[in-house]
Amino acid sequence: MLGASRPNNISAPLQLTSLSRNVDTNLDSIYSFCILEVAKRCFTIDLGEQSIPVEGHNHKNVALKYLMKRRRSLLMTKDPLKVDRLYLDLPKSIRVMSKKLTRSFIVNWQKEGINEFKGSRYVFVLEEK
């Protein structure tokens, strides 16, 4: 239980072990929980005309996060002329580079979802090359 509070009469501190696990020897197993943290790595998003340094866990999630930011900017813009310009500037392909590996993705944008997200605006499908 992550949100559970400890009883007031127990004052033993949590100790961090080398396995990134919180251990409290005086509490029941209900109050013990495991924290797993995966370190973020440095990536570079290459759009052809610009490169953006970012941090993330894996290639696909980095690409999804960037594309969702672009989609959100489209959804929040009220000026129709600016929306059309932003839609034309959306990336059709994206490369995510780490130190050793580069993954390329093809992005298929739709102004309105037809298949899976029917009725949603500015839907994209990400496919690995």
Cite the DSSP H helix spans in 6-125. Answer: 59-76, 80-88
Give the count of beta carbons closer than 10 Å to the beta carbon of residue 50: 8
Classify 51 as helix, strand or coil.
strand
Instruction: Render 11-31 in DSSP notation, one character per residue.
Output: -PPPEE-TTSBEE-TTS-TTS
Q: What is the pLDDT of residue 120?
A: 84
pLDDT digit string (tens) for 19-70?
A: 445 555 554 554 445 556 678 899 999 999 999 999 999 999 999 999 999 9
Would you say residue 71 has pLDDT above 80? yes
> Has residue 102 got a pLDDT over 80?
yes
Chain-centre distance for alpha carbon 96: 13
| 4-17 pLDDT, tens digit each | 554 555 444 444 44
Whether 91 shows a pLDDT value over 60: the answer reads yes
